[in-house]
Amino acid sequence: MKEWAYEDLIENLSQESDSKIVLVVLDGLGGLPVLELGGKTELEAANTPHLDDLARRSSLGLVEPVLPGIAPGSSAGHFGLFGYDPLKYFVGRGVLEALGIGFELAEGDIAVRANFATADFSSGRPVITDRRAGRPPQSETERLCDKLSRSIQQIGDVSIIIRPVKEHRFLVVLRGDGLGDGVRDTDPEGVGRPPLDPQPDPDTPQNRKTASVAKELIALASQVLADEEKANYVLLRGFSLRPSWTPFHKRYRLKGCAIATYPMYRGLARLVGMTVLDLEGSTLVDQICCLKEWWGQFDFYFLHIKATDARGEDGNFTAKMKAIEEFDGVVPELLSLNPTVLAITGDHSTPATYRAHSWHPVPLLLFSPWVMPVPSVEGFGERDCLKGSIGIIPSRHLMSLLLAHSGRLKRYQA
Amino acid sequence: MKEWAYEDLIENLSQESDSKIVLVVLDGLGGLPVLELGGKTELEAANTPHLDDLARRSSLGLVEPVLPGIAPGSSAGHFGLFGYDPLKYFVGRGVLEALGIGFELAEGDIAVRANFATADFSSGRPVITDRRAGRPPQSETERLCDKLSRSIQQIGDVSIIIRPVKEHRFLVVLRGDGLGDGVRDTDPEGVGRPPLDPQPDPDTPQNRKTASVAKELIALASQVLADEEKANYVLLRGFSLRPSWTPFHKRYRLKGCAIATYPMYRGLARLVGMTVLDLEGSTLVDQICCLKEWWGQFDFYFLHIKATDARGEDGNFTAKMKAIEEFDGVVPELLSLNPTVLAITGDHSTPATYRAHSWHPVPLLLFSPWVMPVPSVEGFGERDCLKGSIGIIPSRHLMSLLLAHSGRLKRYQA
């Protein structure tokens, strides 16, 4: 018996419209209460008159990124919000490394997360003595990558692109036809051991091609780095293919754009087919200026705000509150654009007390003409959202709610 | 690894009992608040002393027909309430057309939604100039169907049944052995185009048989209608087989009946194997009389009330309130029958402000000896239901709740 998958159903029911959707992602928005502030969370304790007023006129709820207890990474958190089930849609470490430094992967590219390492060749074959080559400073990483790049540009018909990341980490991109990403890591995951072979797994022609290029690359790099004291070897991990998923505009009939300052979020949005807009600077004001400048040119605006997560990871409750308050200040400007739907949520929780991404469902505010406010709601906060009319929903179902509230979803069956 | 599907689990756990379940479906029950009435919804604003009293002694919650954001049609809404997952169980347009006019499909029947159309034959082959033949009045549609019926009754070993629906629309049923419903629509979906061929898709012997009968039918109809000024051609769409799903009594060990006035809902209930009871008239009083007359003869009574949806689609908030108030008046009579379980909900929301089926979860009241009332609940309304002990559940899970509350579900696993 045929059963509709969520993705296919939405693709089948979505329709064009002139309506406009704004999705604000306050990264790591959700928090946990602290006793000192009367048992309030960051969002509850923040002074947010505009959000509180809006909450009283909105549908509230919470989104669960993956499943109870599962804290998502940034990619899983965002894929969920974009309606790409994070348990089905995920990318390898190599691709994430590329996204993180803003490297634009082309279709068919294989991205690899590489480490500079120290190897001892005294026995004839390499034995890894430091998997991170003493954690070189950034200038050193850049010099090493530059050195490699000048010597290694092509292996057979495959172009080799090398970019520094941070400390011992750098990115290798293999660009060519017929490359597979089923290749095992060469990192032996311990010192005093020889590096592993980049073995094809499973053994297919595509994976064999990648493995053979990788093997050659490691050998060439060893020659180029032979005179380096510490970084004389490279380890390769997380071979991964840039995915080609049904893009946003095809799945939702939405022309989407991203207004994000950090490369990772710009990359995640690009991966699902959004246009990534250029920004004058990296402040919230720059982001709002950009939104206003492009208003009307797109159907869907993904506005990503990083500060909430960063301050949560710092463990700085007050600074996270301030980041939320800063956003509250621009809410009237968002509303003055008169979007059909304005949704405000996060990709996951980052409670300042927890200092990391957590699994707690994330507050969601949805403002549109078709909302069901709840009279006992006082403002925008975790406990108010629990009273809301949306309930706790998987974040991967948010997109159909946004489409419905903007008149972009046809009825299911007669 | 075997995983229990909901349907199989319930079929496996359900057991016989003398208990009685009444499921009242107030079609399109859910609403949205309007400012003029203090921000109340239709259900909240209605004067419903009996429902409010009952709500304070019941378990409340909301049912979500399909998924967040998905507004269901009548069939999807009801299949969900009957425990047939609407993403797995659905019927084609032809079958819905048959249900809508109360035509009793037999197993193996192929139902087709047909249009009278105008074709121009001046070039030798037909070109559609009006896909609706000028929207003929009902009397004309009946005359045309009568004319076709008298001339076309059999094609090969297949019986042809023709019934008027409304304006240009009529129903064609193909009754015979070995017919498939995989046949493409002949409607060219535009004027100035030739009609399409009823092609088998996929190409199987069953679909080929249906396609060949359809082709012959179109040719015969053109001859019969040749002297008509406007309705001189027929277009066929939505070829669909009457489904044969595991019926209600087998899945739930429930002898179910339907007390519904509209053909569509009578047909939907018949499709899952309920007995459809005859009514003296079409008022709520007639329905209650019928319920009382048959009380004790069945295990499960599906009482369908249409007015709430109709007034919602009219955009008439007050009239929808009144329809709810009328139902409130018969609640004491329902309770006097002493059903083991009385559940009151809707197949979807039809907010008067939205004037259409919407995606909002639908209030649910469940009264039985095993309920968990919530002290802060004041009555039966959307916001009270949000406080309820059931939460927001998929409507396809309602049946197991009803069975459990009536002692009809065994424990799962020892």
B332-380 pLDDT tens trace: 999 999 999 999 999 999 999 999 999 999 999 999 999 999 999 999 9
pLDDT of A2 reads 81
CB neighbourhood size of A117 (10 A): 26
| A383–B contact, CB cutoff 8 A | no
Mind telling me how many Å the CA of B95 is from chain A's nearest CA?
11
pLDDT at A1 over 80: no
A399: nearest CA partner in chain B: B69
CA distances from A64 to A69, A152, A300, B373 (A): 9, 45, 22, 27
The token pair at B242 is 């009457």
Indicate yes or no: CB of A397 within 8 angstroms of CB of B96. Answer: no
- The mean pLDDT value for B289-317 works out to 98
Work out the minimum CA distance from A408 to partner chain B, whole angstroms. 10
Strand partners, A233: A117
- Inspect the interface and report whether the beta carbons of B73 and A1 lie closer than 8 Å: no
B85 and A CB contact within 8 Å: yes
Has residue A37 got a pLDDT over 90?
no
CA separation for the pair A151, A224 (Å, rounded): 7
Chain B residues touching residue A414 (CB < 8 angstroms): 73-75, 93, 96
Tell whether B76 is within 8 A of chain A (Cβ).
yes
In sequence order, what are the residues at sequence separation of 6 or more whose Cβ sits closer than 8 angstroms to the Cβ of residue B254?
B14, B21, B248, B299, B300, B403, B408
Quick check: B72 and A413 CB within 8 A?
Answer: yes
Dihedral class, residue B124 (left if φ above 0, else alpha if ψ from -120 to 50, else beta): left
Query: Which residues partner with B343 through β-bridges?
Result: B23, B366
* Residue range A46-99, pLDDT digits in tens: 999 999 999 999 999 999 999 999 999 999 999 999 999 999 999 999 999 999
> Which among B69, B85, B353 has CB closest to A404?
B69
Closest approach of chain A CAs to the CA of B120, in angstroms? 32
B70–A390 CB contact, under 8 Å: no
**What SS3 state is found at A114?**
strand
Q: pLDDT band at A414, cuts 50/70/90?
A: confident
Nearest CB to B39 within list A9, A375, A400: A375
- With CA atoms as reference, the chain B residue closest to A385 would be B386
What pLDDT does residue A17 have? 97
> What mean pLDDT is predicted for residues B210-217?
97
Cβ B331 vs Cβ B2: under 8 Å: no
Task: Output the pLDDT for position B38.
Answer: 87
Categorize the per-residue pLDDT at B384 as very low, low, confident or very high, splitting at 50, 70 and 90: very high
Average pLDDT score over chain A: 96
CB contact under 8 A, B70 and A13: yes
pLDDT over 90 (residue B37): no
Residue A40 tokens, joined: 């309030």
| Residue A156: predicted pLDDT | 96
Rounded to whole angstroms, the Cα distance separating A128 from A108 reads 31
Nearest residue on chain A to B362, judged by CA atoms?
Answer: A389
Query: Taking 90 as the threshold, does the pLDDT of residue B233 lie above it?
Result: yes
Which pLDDT score is estimated for B385? 98
Determine the Cα–Cα distance for residues B135 and B140; give it in Å rounded to an integer: 10
Strand-pairing partners, residue B394, are B64
Cβ–Cβ < 8 Å for A362, A346: yes
Chain B residues whose CB is inside 8 A of the A411 CB are 71-73, 356-357
Cα A354 to Cα A82: distance, rounded to the nearest angstrom = 26
Nearest to B87 among A9, A400, A402 (CB): A9
Q: Note the pLDDT tens digit of each residue in A305-353.
A: 999 999 999 999 999 999 999 999 999 999 999 999 999 999 999 999 9
Are A372 and B392 in contact (CB < 8 Å)?
no
Among the partner residues A375, A397, A413, nearest to B73 by beta-carbon distance: A413
Give the chain A residue nearest B384 (alpha carbons).
A374
> Tell me: the pLDDT tens digits for B247-269?
999 999 999 999 999 999 999 99
Asked whether residue B174 carries a pLDDT value surpassing 80, the answer given is yes
Q: How far is CA B118 from CA A183, B91, B335, B367, in A?
A: 63, 29, 55, 55
Nearest CB to A413; choose among B39, B75, B351: B75
Closest chain B residue to A401, measured at CA? B69
How confident is the prediction for chain B on average, in pLDDT? 96
Residue B383 is nearest to which of A1, A374, A398, comparing CB atoms? Answer: A374
* Chain B, window 5-34: residues with a beta carbon less than 8 angstroms from a chain A beta carbon: 32-33
Annotated domain spans of chain B: 6-89+245-405, 96-241
Nearest to A389 among B66, B71, B386 (CB): B386
Element holding A212 (H helix, E strand): helix A205-224
How far apart are the C-alpha atoms of A25 and A43, rounded to whole Å?
Answer: 14
Whether B299 has its CB under 8 Å from any CB of chain A: the answer is: no
Q: Contacts of residue A2 in chain B, CB cutoff 8 Å? A: 88
Model pLDDT, residue A24: 98
CA distance A413 to chain B (A): 5
Residue A72, preceding bond cis, omega within 30 degrees? no
Partner B contacted by A386 (CB < 8 A) = no
Angle made by CA atoms B100, B104, B105, in degrees to the nearest 5: 100
B66–A414 C-beta distance less than 8 A:
no
3-class secondary structure per residue, chain B: CCCCCHHHHHHHHECCCCCCEEEEEECCEECCCEHHHCCECHHHHCCCHHHHHHHCCCEEEEEECCCCCCCECHHHHHHHHCCCCCCCCCCCHHHHHHHHCCCCCCCCCEEEEEEEEEEECCCCCCEEEECCCCCCCHHHHHHHHHHHHHHCCEECCEEEEEEEEECCEEEEEEECCCCCCCECCCCCCCCCECCCCCCECCCCHHHHHHHHHHHHHHHHHHHHCCCCCCCCEEEEEEEEECCCCCCHHHHHCCCEEEECCCHHHHHHHHHCCCEECCCCCCCHHHHHHHHHHHCCCCCEEEEEECHHHHHHHHCCHHHHHHHHHHHHHHHHHHHHCCCCEEEEECCCECCCCCCCCECCCEEEEEECCCCCCCCCCCCCCHHHHHCCCCEEEEHHHHHHHHHHHCCCECCCCC
* Architecture in CATH of B6-89+245-405: 3-Layer(aba) Sandwich (3.40)
Residue A19: its chain B contacts at CB < 8 A?
none
Q: Is A373 on the interface with B (CB under 8 A)?
A: yes
Residue B143 confidence (pLDDT): 97
Q: What's the whole-number mean pLDDT along residues A3-26? A: 97
Alpha carbons within 13 angstroms on the beta-carbon side of residue A124 total 0
- Band (pLDDT 50/70/90 cuts) for residue A401 is very high
Q: Which residue has the tokens 């506005």?
A: A303
pLDDT confidence of residue B100: 87
CB contact under 8 A, A409 and B70: yes
Closest-CA residue of B relative to A56 is: B39
Topology, domain A6-89+246-405: Alkaline Phosphatase, subunit A (3.40.720)
Q: What is the pTM of this model?
A: 0.93
Task: Calculate mean pLDDT across residues A105-128.
Answer: 95
Give the tens place of pLDDT for each residue, B59-99: 999 999 999 999 999 999 999 999 999 999 999 999 999 99
Residue of A nearest to B354 (CA): A370
pLDDT of residue A7: 94
The interface predicted TM-score (ipTM) is 0.92
CB burial of B239-266 (b: ≥16 within 10 Å; e: otherwise) equals bbbbbebeebbebbbbebbbbbbbebbb
User: A413 vs B86: CB contact, 8 Å cut-off?
Assistant: yes
Q: Which residues in chain A have Cβ-Cβ distances shorter than 8 Å to B87?
A: 3-4, 9
Mutate to test the interface with A, among B3, B40, B70, B349 (most CBs of A within 10 A): B70
3-state secondary structure string across B260-273: CCCHHHHHHHHHCC
What are the pLDDT digits (tens) for A231-271? 999 999 999 999 999 999 999 999 999 999 999 999 999 99
